[in-house]
Amino acid sequence: MKNKSWKQKAVAIFTGIFIVLLAMTMLTGCGKTSSNGSTSKKSSYQSVAIQDIQNDLANNPVSAKNKYLNKKIKVTGIINKIDVYDGEHQYFIQAKNSNDLTFEDLNDPTITTCVVGAVRTGSDMDKKLSKYQIGQYVTFQGKVIKIGDKYLAMEVDWAV
């Protein structure tokens, strides 16, 4: 009888430990893997090809607005213009370097479209981006805050 009681206690202890571990796993999201196989939290930023954004803007800016506005995205492109406007530094990125355009590119409607990365003057991100030059590749991550006929503007949270 003592052996049976000891076995019942052992089963109860192991069952309790299993339930606690299962609950912890469910609460922390442990075990979820990202597309690259790591077990880190899923990124809340959607990677979008800059060519796709430029095509969407050139073909139907209303559809682009519905698709991207208020979304968190990550996009890589070439800086073709840096501007200061209304207390912000703006970095205009495109798929192609404007210095390398060919005659055939003049017929491409996406050439006039771009992504504008907006950064508040004096912020930490502004200091980081101030080291970038026209012609460099950059990856912006942030929230899309405005879409016009030929541009998508995003507030940059992160850049590299």
Tens digits of per-residue pLDDT, 16-37? 676 665 555 555 544 444 444 4
Read off the pLDDT of each residue in 102-116 and give the average, rounded to a whole number. Answer: 85
Read off the pLDDT of each residue in 71-93 and give the average, rounded to a whole number. Answer: 93
pLDDT at 87: 84
**CB-based contacts of 133, cutoff 8 Å, min separation 6:** 79
- Angstrom distance (rounded) from CA 144 to CA 156: 9
pLDDT at 75: 96
Read off the pLDDT of each residue in 73-84 and give the average, rounded to a whole number. Answer: 95
- Angstrom distance (rounded) from CA 152 to CA 85: 15
Q: Which run of H or of E encompasses 15? A: helix 2-28
